[in-house]
Amino acid sequence: MRALKARGGPPATGPNDSGMSDSKTTASLVTTVLEAVPSGLTLGIQVHGFTDEVQIDRLTPCTGTC
């Protein structure tokens, strides 16, 4: 899955860029990931500028009382 700014160079090198979120926001990207990616996988997150902690928390599995 790629956010808007990450789309420039990689498509030119060949990777499939089909993972864009509907409204190109962090919230919609996280929703797309939660719906499309199987649970139990490790995700890499690159943050820059404003870090939306609420969205990062949505990607963090609950390991106790949440």
Q: What are 15-31's pLDDT values in tens digits?
A: 555 666 677 788 888 89
Q: Taking a C-beta distance cutoff of 8 angstroms, is the pair 24, 4 a contact?
A: yes
Q: CA-to-CA distance for 4 and 21, rounded, in angstroms?
A: 9
Answer whether residue 5 shows pLDDT above 70.
Answer: no
What's the whole-number average pLDDT of the chain? 73
More confident residue, 37 or 61: 37
Polymer length in residues for the chain: 66
Domain assignment of residue 66, yes or no: no
Q: Could you list the residue range(s) of the whole structural domain that residue 45 is in?
A: 4-59
Domain assignment of residue 65, yes or no: no
Which two structure tokens, joined as six digits, stand for 18?
A: 């089909």
Determine the residue type at 64: G
Please tell me what DSSP assigns to residue 12.
H
More confident residue, 3 or 43: 43
Among residues 21, 24, 25, 20, which one has the least CA distance to residue 10? 20
Please tell me what DSSP assigns to residue 62.
P
Task: Count how many domains the chain has.
Answer: 1
Would you place residue 54 in the very low, low, confident or very high pLDDT band (cuts 50, 70, 90)? very high
